[in-house]
Amino acid sequence: MSEKHDYGPGIGWPILLAIVVITIWAVVGLAVHKLTDDPGTFGDMFGAVNALFSGLAFAGVIYAILLQQQELRLQRDELQLTRAELAGQKEQLQAQNETLRQQNFENTFFQLVRLHNDIVGSIDLRNRTGGETIAIGRDCFKIFYERFRRQWEKSMSSDVGSNELERIEKTYLSFYEANEAELGHYFRSLYNIVKFVDGSATKNKRLYTNLIRAQLSTFELAILFYNCLSTMGSEKFRPLIERYALLKMIPRNELINPAAHIPLYSSSAFS
């Protein structure tokens, strides 16, 4: 509720001033008529009254200036009130825009997650000899990891690479090449979801990356671990894994050589 201000003279002042002027004029006229019979003196007295009228006219000018100042103050108050209302509308609009952006982000995020789950569900592994289905969806990743382990054992016998990171690189690339048809789409989808969250303006990004991590099975995490130590994911995906601790829930006993392989990541990937 706006506060009422009284900045200047009200409408009663001009009426009061007119009454005072008429009263002075009448009183002076009667006084001069009673006190003197000299017409010249009577005319001089009215000259003084004319001077009084001039002064009153000057006072009227001052009064007009005061009224103008009052009007300017009222306009300034109205302008300040309008600015306050506009500021409130701007804040409300910003809040609405932020809510709309968050809703759009969440809609896109959950659509991406749903699409990724569809991709996982569409993976099926078949017996290479009989063509029979041996695993569907997330169950396939246990078989993928068993294949990777067998590939690792072969690399150990052939002495592939001069250190653990080189051995992981060559072993994983060989494994990935044989399973790219199933894993290529999977990792591209997973990477783009995490990248989408990272590049968004949402405030609590960890909330959404935690949701992503919660959907990864034990063997998905194990495959992801070695994927991002190889050139397939080390440049772009690995920094996001370390930023959002996507390997926090990985069962370390499932890794091939935990003591040697875990230090290849920054500790932030696990905490």
- 14-55 confidence digits (pLDDT tens): 666 667 766 776 676 666 666 665 555 555 555 655 655 666
In the chain, where are the structural domains located? 12-103, 123-269
Q: What is the DSSP letter of 2?
A: P
Q: Which residues pair with 125 in a beta bridge?
A: 135
Is the separation of the CB atoms in 256 and 175 below 8 Å? no
- Output the pLDDT for position 43: 57
- Output the pLDDT for position 112: 96
- Output the pLDDT for position 2: 47
10 Å CB burial of residue 67 (0-12, 13-18, 19+) is middle
Distance between CA atoms of 230 and 148, rounded to whole angstroms?
Answer: 13
The pTM of this model reads 0.67
Is the separation of the CB atoms in 262 and 252 below 8 Å? yes
Neighbours of 151 (CB within 10 A): 20
Instruction: Say which residues have a Cβ less than 8 Å from residue 213's Cβ, sequence separation at least 6.
Output: 244, 245, 246, 248, 249
What's the token pair of residue 142?
Answer: 């246990």
Distances (CA, A) of 230 to 19, 47, 54, 134, 175: 101, 111, 100, 28, 11
Average pLDDT, consecutive stretches of 10 residues, N- to C-terminus, the chain (271 residues): 52 64 67 61 58 65 78 84 80 83 95 96 84 89 95 78 86 94 94 96 94 96 96 95 96 93 95 86
Distance between CA atoms of 164 and 167, rounded to whole angstroms?
Answer: 5
- Output the pLDDT for position 193: 97
